[in-house]
Structure 1
Amino acid sequence: MSPRPPLPLGTWGKISRKKHPNGRWRATTRYRDTDGITRTAEAWGTSGAAAERTLVTSFQDRRAPISSEISRTTRLSELSDLWFEEIENNGRAGRRTIDGYRDTYRRVIEPALAGLRLHELSTGRIDRFLKNVAADHPATARHSKIVLTGMIGLALRHDAVRSNPVRDVGPIKIARKDVKALSVEDVQKLRTVIDEWQKDPTHQGRPRAADLLDVLDIFLATGARIGEVLAIRWQDVDLQAEPPTITISGTVVMEKGRGAYRQDHPKTKAGFRTMKVPPFAVQTLQRRYSAERPKPEDMLFPSSTGTVRSPHNFRRQWRDARAGSPYEWVTPHVFRKSVATLINQEYSSRQAAAQLGHSGTAITEKHYIAKATESPDLTATLQQFGDESPLGPDHLSM
């Protein structure tokens, strides 16, 4: 005989009643709890029926689900409010990331899907939506997929849906662009372009326009992100160390209604790092320190009013400085790629990843290291295949 199947979760077996000498009735049964364990349950009453009603009532209270604002009839617009509230409070996403999610939702997802209820968000419907977006803007489609995955993941955790329909949509292909980096020779030519721009009388006197070359030196000396470079304080610089160092301990972020401010931690956990500074950048730091005699809490590259410098403002100044030159394509992020590429050529991608503050080499190799267009000179190594040929040296000259 096959064993008796267990009770379904949250159910009970036959209820027994028994009158005790004191005149009260006791109702008992076996109840399979939500943890899967079957336990004996009991309740007392003035009659058998009363004891059974009390027992059944206790089961109903025991089975009552935790109240949730999310159900299968919740609209995506309502779910989005709850999801944004959650990620704002859990601290797992930075300000810039959350603002990006909000922007994608408002521009792309909300007009198309906000009125749909959760049970209407099928894999097919979401797949068609993402493919329509990807036809013109594949990167936006991929970002939309990330946002929808997070939102419906919240509904899944509240048992409002059985599975996340976004997980099974078709892949969104983005044409991979070759990493473009500056060579050492390119950097020298670019320095000349920026220097001539700074010396042009029409540009002199512009707020912070005279220090673009200094910022460039720190970009090239560290490979740090623009927000990280603009967040460096003098207390993060140790000119007494041998060699001198810069510690990346924060980043500048932009927030609506607040503007630019210094966030007291980098973009990622691996981004907190101390880097040794090469001599050319040490000279820049020493010159600036001698000229400014700053306080430890002062910014290395402040705004014109001495506050945190906005990355947006710096990018605008940088565009002005390189306009009309062969280097109009160069953005601040290109310096990060150039540093990674040079370190990889001289050492390895592991050292490049450490310099950039990546936790591993995969992102560094895929997005930051320019692939060589000419293979290195490995002739001495490959010559080993021809040395001491069993057919004799004459064979090698055939």
Structure 2
Amino acid sequence: MARPKRALGELGKVTYTVEGSGLVVARGRVHDGNGRERRPSGSGATEAEALAALQEAADVAVGRVLARRTQLMTVAELATAWLKTAYHDDDPRVLRQRREQTVDGYASVVRAHVTPRAGAIRIADITADRADGLLMDIAREKSVTTANKVRNVMSLMFDWAIQQGHFSAAGSIQQTRYGAVVVANPIRATRRADEPNTVYFELDAVQVKYILHLIRDVWPERHRARYPVGRRPNYKLLADYILITLGTSERTAEPIAIRFQDVRFEAVEQPDGSLTMEALVWVGGTMVRTKSRGLFRQDSPKAERQKRWDRVPKFAAKVLSELVASHVPNPERNPDDVLFITERGRPRDPSAVGELLRMFRREFKPELLAIGVDAEHLTFRSLRKAVAAAVSNTAGVEVARDLLGHSDAAITEGHYAKRPDLIVEIAADALDEVFAGIDA
């Protein structure tokens, strides 16, 4: 009677040998996707480890799509395995790896929400209705935004589980309160929560000028009267950062990553024959912090395609000229040569600048409300929205799109205002027109 043919991925008889070093080597036979016999091997400190390594080698020989997997894991085990791969993806088909700070964000969501709530549940027991209930609880207890983050992370986890064979891509029958249903990724069958409506933010020159007056003139006196001794907030840093953000439309952590070589001044002849100096800024980096590297300058903004030159308005050019004039290179403490540095000559942390703005909002909430500015909405992102509104109203949404580095005007209209290498001239002209005199 003929021996039954082995299935794809099924190992034949496994033999074990022990090397002189004590390492156990497991060898077997397996048929690949073309029916050819392969003889993979694996090694480990014990027979169990060697067998596991042999099975991995057999999976590779057969092909990941055809490999048989029978491991049942919990959500916590899945999250651990997925994060390990997300940090160190060796797939040659992946051209652009996830940035480390992105995976750090995934790990934070897993640690704070996924593992405490569902870590002990087997992935085969996660049905769409159970996942939907989990997300609904998070939305009620935390926020809609948090629920959507958890949904995104868990969906990525289960997609990876399907790819690895831990879960059936073709669908698996699961018993729910509605009866037996066929599901693939149960997370994708859940309802995505509606995000809050976008809050559009506009500022005029009078409001900006008054905000700068509060920062430069009122805050120092008030703080000195309340705290005669001690460290003072860096009023000039906050005022300069607001002007640079308004002038460049950069994201929160991008102005702080501007280097000495990213600023260029050009003499421009005016119609009357006079010469004026205009400043251009290369938007080509951002400051980020990761668990492994700490704070560092990333050599691209949010996306590689958003690199661009901005011609900045006069009020921002004035700040940049001061920063460039006072800049002293320090390769040891400031290897990237950024312009915004601490008293010790090191690059500034964006979170410190954000805390400055929060301190200001808490201190001057009534004064801001009196000029029609909701303190809660006064953020560096809202300043970017104010730039988008100013440019869009004056020069059109297409100019605002280019200035903000968006790939589509629909993004600008949907989130900011109701890629050329050099930004069109009228963007800076529009900002000069709307915010004229704020640096006086």
Fold in common (TM above 0.5): yes
Q: Does residue 135 of structure 2 align to residue 130 of structure 1?
A: yes
Question: Match for 1:92 among 91, 94, 97?
Answer: 97
Is 1:79 the equivalent of 2:68?
Answer: no
- The Cα shift of 1:222 comes to 0.6
Picking from 277, 282, 289, the partner of 1:247 is 282
What amino acid is aligned across from residue 77 of structure 1 in structure 2?
A
Distance 1:65 1:334, change over 3 A: closer
Residue type at the aligned position of 1:154? W
SS state at 1:220 partner: helix
Which amino acid in 2 is paired with 1:271? Q
Distance verdict in 2 for CA 1:213–1:125, change over 3 Å: same
The amino acid that maps onto 1:84 is L
The answer as to 2:272 corresponding to 1:266 is no
Once the two structures are superposed, the pairs formed by residues 142-161 of structure 1 within 5 Å of their partners are: 142-161=148-167
* Bigger radius of gyration among the two: 1
Tell me: CA distance 1:130–1:74, structure 2 relative to 1, closer, same or farther (3 Å): same
| Alignment of structure 1 residues 145-224 onto 2, 5 Å | 145-162=151-168, 163-197=184-218, 199-200=220-221, 202=223, 206=232, 208-224=234-250
CA distance in 1, matches of 2:395, 2:71: 54
Q: Deviations over 1:230-269 (max 9, x none)?
A: 1111111112475421111111112246542211221212
The residue aligned with 1:5 is none
In 2, Cα distance between the equivalents of 1:176 and 1:71? 45
CA-atom RMSD in angstroms: 3.2
Cα 1:346–1:174 change in 2 (3 A) is: same
How far did 1:197 drift?
A: 4.0
Unaligned runs of 5+ in 1: 1-8, 11-31, 43-59, 372-398
**Residue 320 in 1 paired to residue 359 in 2?**
yes
State the Cα distance separating 1:207 from its structure 2 match.
Answer: 6.6
Percent sequence identity over aligned pairs: 28
TM-score, structure 2 length as denominator?
Answer: 0.65
Task: State the aligned residue count.
Answer: 321
Q: Counterpart amino acid of 1:244?
A: A
Unaligned runs of at least 5 residues, structure 2: 1-6, 9-30, 38-57, 90-95, 169-183, 225-229, 269-277, 419-440
Measured after TM superposition, the shift of residue 69 of structure 1 is: 10
CA contact (8 A) 1:182 1:334 kept: no
Q: 1-side partners of 2:290 and 2:32: how far apart?
A: 48
Q: Which amino acid aligns with 1:301?
A: F
**What is the TM-score of this pair, normalised by structure 1?**
0.72
**Residues 134 and 140 of structure 1 are in contact (CA less than 8 Å); yes or no, is this contact kept in structure 2?**
yes
Whether the aligned pair in 2 keeps the contact of 1:228 and 1:251 (CA below 8 Å) is: yes
Distance in 1 between residues matched to 2:68 and 2:189, nearest whole Å: 26
Q: CA deviation at 1:72?
A: 5.6
Deviation of 1:196 (Å): 1.4
Q: Does 2:290 correspond to 1:284?
A: no
Q: 1:205 to 1:126 in 2, by over 3 A?
A: closer
Distance in 2 between the 1:339 and 1:257 partners?
Answer: 35
Cα shift at 1:345: 0.8
In the TM superposition, what whole-angstrom CA distance separates every residue of 1:98-122 from its partner, at most 9, and x where no partner exists? 2222121111111111112221111
Structure 2 residue 388 is the aligned partner of structure 1 residue 340? yes
For the structure 1 residues 217 and 64, does the alpha-carbon distance in structure 2 shift closer, same or farther, using more than 3 Å as the test?
closer
Cα distance in structure 2, aligned partners of 1:63 and 1:102: 32
Q: Which letter does structure 1 place at the counterpart of 2:252?
A: I
CA contact (8 A) 2:32 2:63 kept: no
CA distance in structure 2 between the aligned counterparts of 1:92 and 1:61, rounded to whole angstroms? 24
Given that residues 208 and 303 in structure 1 are in contact (C-alpha distance below 8 angstroms), is that contact kept between their aligned partners in structure 2?
no
Whole-Å Cα distance in 1 between the matches of residues 59 and 298 of structure 2?
A: 47
Query: Secondary structure of 2:253's partner?
Result: helix
Q: 1:302 aligns with which of 316, 341, 347?
A: 341
